[in-house]
Amino acid sequence: MSDFKFNGQNLDVDLIASIAKLLDTNGIPNVMWGPYVLARYGAPLVLQELSFVIPDQHIDRAREVLLAANFVSCQDDCHLVQPVCNLPHPYAHFILDDKDQPRVVHDDMPPLGTWHSFRLELHKKSRLLWTLPDIPLGAPAPDDPSYMLVTDDRLDEYDPRMHLGRVPYTHYPVKMPTLPRYAESLAYGYLRERSREGEGHNLRAWFFLGETTYIGEYCKLRVADLEEPRIRRFWRLLDDPSSNHPLFRYSTRLAAELKTANFFPEEEEGGREAQENT
């Protein structure tokens, strides 16, 4: 078992590996998501939050394990749970640095809530990676088409100046989706939000589309490696700078088709992920 306790450690690869080990040793499969993963693919993003995707049946236990390891659950009226937040709403999140200040609220704007830049998030697999197979405990197979380690040779060599690419070493295996599966999941996330009505869904649709542009600009995605022909067409339209209108028309049609086929996970009661109550 892991005896790790959080006491304000730096937000770095050692902390990430310690969290992965803590979850694995408690029988909780986990895989990273978000800016840290995109940086491994080569996108120059600043690391401020750590996002882990957890199988739905394990996510309450994951929250309990992290609380027991001294991670502090966010108790504020946080921006992450506001309807106008353009980020995927986490199931639970923890403050890694409490020095952030509340956002300014204007009379003519909806409440934005407190913003904690440095945080740890837990997301349900059914919300972000529902098309991927089960997340393994520990290291995946070296040739796994869906999951890989952040130290995998399939990633570009590490750039120490920009902190991009393959991580040279971790004291415990840290998993992430392979680039094709991650690209597919972002496209599906965008299409899911396009299929729904409301300002929050529209904002989150733009978030997912923005994440796909990082891959298109900085990462070495081979469209031929994508499994679904309709998603391959989505990415080809996305990569064509002259095809904005065709992309949006195609996305609207494809989102409607997938919604009719019940492809997307159902929205939870209240329109967002449940928040922790402590």
Sorted by where each begins, the domain ranges of the chain are: 13-177, 180-260
Written as six digits, the tokens of 137 are 């405990």
User: Given a cut of 90, is residue 114 above it in pLDDT?
Assistant: no
Residue 107: pLDDT over 60: no
Percent of the chain with pLDDT over 90: 67
**CB neighbourhood size of 163 (10 A):** 17
CA angle, residues 232, 272, 207, in degrees to nearest 5: 40
Counting other chains too, the contacts that 95-103 makes at CB distance below 8 Å and 24 or more residues apart are 95/119, 96/11, 96/50, 96/120, 97/8, 97/11, 98/72, 102/76, 103/79
Query: pTM of the predicted model, to two decimals?
Result: 0.88
At 276 the pLDDT is 43
User: Which segment of 103-112, 158-167, 178-187 scores lowest on mean pLDDT?
Assistant: 103-112
pLDDT for residue 233 is more than 50: yes
At residue 266, the pLDDT reads 81
Using the predicted structure, report yes or no on whether residue 104 has a pLDDT greater than 50. Answer: no
